[in-house]
Amino acid sequence: MTLELLVEIFLGAASYWWLILIATTVGIIIGAIPGFGAQNTIIMLLPFTLAVPVEMALTFMVAIYVASHMGSGIPAILLNIPGTGGAAATTIDGYPMAQKGMAQQALVLTFVASTLGGFITSFITIFTIGYLAQIAFYLHSVEMVVIMLFGITLIAVIAAKDPLKGLISGVIGLLIGAIGADHIYSAPRATFGFLELYEGMPIIPALIGLFAISEALVMLENRSMLSAEGRERMLKAGWRETGEGIRMALKRWTHITWTSVIGLVVGAVPGAGASIGAFVAYQQSRLYSKTPEAYGTGHPEGIIAPEAANNGVASGSLIPLLVLAVPGGTTAAVMLVVLSYHGVPLGPRLFVEDPGLAYGVFATMVLSYLIMMVTILPMSRYLSRVTLVGTTILAPIIIGFTLVGAFSPRAYIFDMGVALSFGVLGYIMRKTGYHVVAMLIGIILGPLLEANFMRALRLSGGEYSVFFGSNIGNVLWLMLLASILFPIYSNWRRKREREARG
């Protein structure tokens, strides 16, 4: 990377500033609507991206992609409904903070952490892309199986107040994720006779049911989602609260930096995804915090960590696409189609033949984050007013519009039924202390876990010992074991201390 090339790629990206402005606005809106992920919007706008020059198409797709990552945190904070799985961890501290009447500060924390985290990781990626791409070479199907199980364990232990219930939710989620046609024999499994489940459990309707519909049903127990004090504080909120949020975020700039780097590294692993990245960052943040007990009650660092990581993942997940031609996620897969249509040579050749285009992706990201910082921050004051709307108005709007979001990706009425079923399931889970996040992540990781399970077994000729035959895998197994045993030990120690104090 020469200085000349660096200047060239940034000037190239800056020439499309108007397109970035439009795309980031669209991206934030669609990211905030559960069900309308970046991939669906890029698919809908395929005629545009296929018709314009490749630089323009790439700028448009990348800007929508990063903006949707940021937008997904907005409903997570205001309504306890993550726009995508990557924002699921944001609900843990974001929503309690909003309920205290601090939605504006929570939104600002999200925006600053997201934009700063994304900005930093995009910049880092420009200089370290070659090294980060090597992560994928060390992680094979065995390691991926352990990573998936480690991810679900972490989430169960972190998100749920009761780790055992969290683990049960996660395992049920993994089993639901394994519904559909078998990877090798294509035999339908546990489809209840529905052809619509042949391709597996649709994730968007499950997300909408578990989060949006169940939350709306719970919401009806009170007239307002805010506490009495929170409502009073929210009514008095003005620009000062935006400033307070900025100060709270900037004071924690080191926190934003290292948690976004966690997201970047996790994102560089094909298939690991934003949900794991956000939860790993949240767990690490809590582990090294001086006030771990404050997490889950509306702690600023509990919002910063997953949001910075979520946007770090956005940078990382494009690395396997560009360097190895392996899409790291669904949106990257759609981008692969568009780039292939334009005849762009993906893989190492791209960096030799057209380095401007390859590195330009990350320059576009850097500029997108800069533009979003300017456009979205002033909006937090107005967006936070949503929390003042009564639940009798909010609940029907949430149910009605998110059901439409469930229908949208596949255009099946069946998917709206799936969302309603998961809504009832999520409602029972919330009332009985089973965390819906663990189940959702299980459903997301279920098919990936199974695919890697089968691959590892086939490559080893059916030898189950293969899962303990790699050094990296064994280290990950130990970490998984530690993540289960450590909370049990901490609880036991706290209990002993309490008993000793009488």
What is the C-alpha separation between 41 and 405, in angstroms, rounded? 12
Q: Are 83 and 34 in contact (CB under 8 A)?
A: yes
Three-state DSSP state, 180: strand
* Smallest separation, CB 225 to other proteins (Å): 14
Cα distance between the two ends of the chain:
64
* SS3 state of residue 35: coil
Among 107, 249, 450, 480, binds other proteins (CB under 8 A): 450
DSSP states of 436-470 as a string?
HHHHHHHHHHHHHHHHHHHHHHHHTTS-GGGGGS-
Residue 457 touches other proteins, criterion: CB under 8 A? yes
In three-state secondary structure terms, 344 is coil
Options 250, 352, 424, 482; binder of other proteins; rule CB under 8 A: 424
Of the two residues 170 and 328, which places its CB atom closer to other proteins in the complex? 170
Please identify, among the stretches 132-140, 168-176, 231-239, 278-286, the one whose residues bind other proteins according to the rule CB under 8 A.
Answer: 168-176
The two tokens of residue 273 are: 């995804």
- The helix/strand/coil state of 188 is strand
- In the complex, the smallest distance separating the C-beta of residue 401 from other proteins, rounded to whole angstroms, is 6
3-state SS assignment for residue 434: coil
CB of 70 to other proteins, least distance (A): 18
CA atoms within 13 A on the CB side of 263: 39
Binds other proteins (CB under 8 A): choice among 25, 39, 41, 260: 41
> Is residue 169 involved in binding other proteins (CB under 8 A)?
yes
Smaller CB distance to other proteins: residue 200 or 320?
Answer: 200
- Of 400, 487, 493, 496, the one binding other proteins by CB under 8 A: 400
- Which residues are CB-neighbours of 230 under 8 A, at least 6 positions away? 99, 100, 101, 102, 387
Concatenate the DSSP letters of all residues of 198-263 into one string. Answer: TT---HHHHHIIIIIIHHHHHHTTSS-SS-HHHHHHHHH--HHHHHHHHHHHHTTHHHHHHHHHHH
Strands (E), 305-442: none
**How far apart are the C-alpha atoms of 341 and 364, rounded to whole Å?**
21
Give yes or no for residue 413 binding other proteins (CB under 8 A).
yes
Restricting to residues 172-191, name those near other proteins by CB under 8 A: 172, 174-176, 178-179, 182, 184-185, 187-191
Residue 455 engages other proteins in binding (rule: CB under 8 A): no
Interaction of residue 165 with other proteins, rule CB under 8 A: yes
Q: Which listed residue (404, 472, 474, 479) binds other proteins by CB under 8 A?
A: 404
Q: Residue 29 CB, nearest distance to other proteins (Å)?
A: 8
429 binds other proteins, rule: CB under 8 A: yes
Q: What 3-state class would DSSP assign to 189?
A: strand
Q: How far is the CB of 304 from other proteins (least distance, A)?
A: 30
Stretch of residues binding other proteins (CB under 8 A), selected from 91-99, 234-242, 313-321, 399-407: 399-407
Residue number with CB closer to other proteins (5 or 379): 379
Compute the distance between CA of residue 208 and CA of residue 178 in angstroms, rounded to an integer.
Answer: 19
Of residues 433, 468, 481, 482, which one binds other proteins by CB under 8 A? 433
* Nearer to other proteins (CB atom), residue 84 or residue 122: 84
Query: Residue 424 contacts by C-beta under 8 Å, 6 or more apart in sequence?
Result: 209, 214, 217
Element containing residue 12 per DSSP (H, E): helix 3-14
Phi-psi region at 186: left, alpha or beta (left = phi > 0; alpha = psi -120 to 50): left
The distance of closest approach from Cβ of residue 478 to other proteins in the complex, given in angstroms and rounded to an integer, is 18
Interacting residues with other proteins between 16 and 35 (CB under 8 A) = 29-30
CB of 320 to other proteins, least distance (A): 24
CB of 420 to other proteins, least distance (A): 6
The answer to the question of residue 428 lying near other proteins (CB under 8 A) is yes
Nearest CB to other proteins, comparing residues 356 and 433: 433
d(CA 415, CA 20): 33
Interacting residue with other proteins among 11, 44, 333, 459 (CB under 8 A): 44
39 lies in the site for other proteins, by CB under 8 A: no
Distance of closest approach, residue 403 Cβ to other proteins, in angstroms: 6
The residue type found at 338 is V
Which of 411, 105, 431, 437 minimizes the C-alpha distance to 246? Answer: 105
Q: Among residue numbers 245 through 264, which ones bind other proteins (CB under 8 A)? A: none
Name which of residues 378 to 397 contact other proteins (CB under 8 A).
390, 392-393, 395-397
Residue (255 or 430) nearer to other proteins, CB: 430
User: What residues between 342 and 371 interact with other proteins by CB under 8 A?
Assistant: none
Nearest-angstrom CA–CA distance, 300 and 337:
39
Binding site for other proteins (CB under 8 A): 29-30, 36, 41, 44, 164-165, 167-169, 171-172, 174-176, 178-179, 182, 184-185, 187-191, 213, 216-217, 220-221, 390, 392-393, 395-397, 399-401, 403-404, 407-408, 411, 413, 416-417, 420, 423-425, 428-429, 431-434, 449-450, 453-454, 457-458, 462
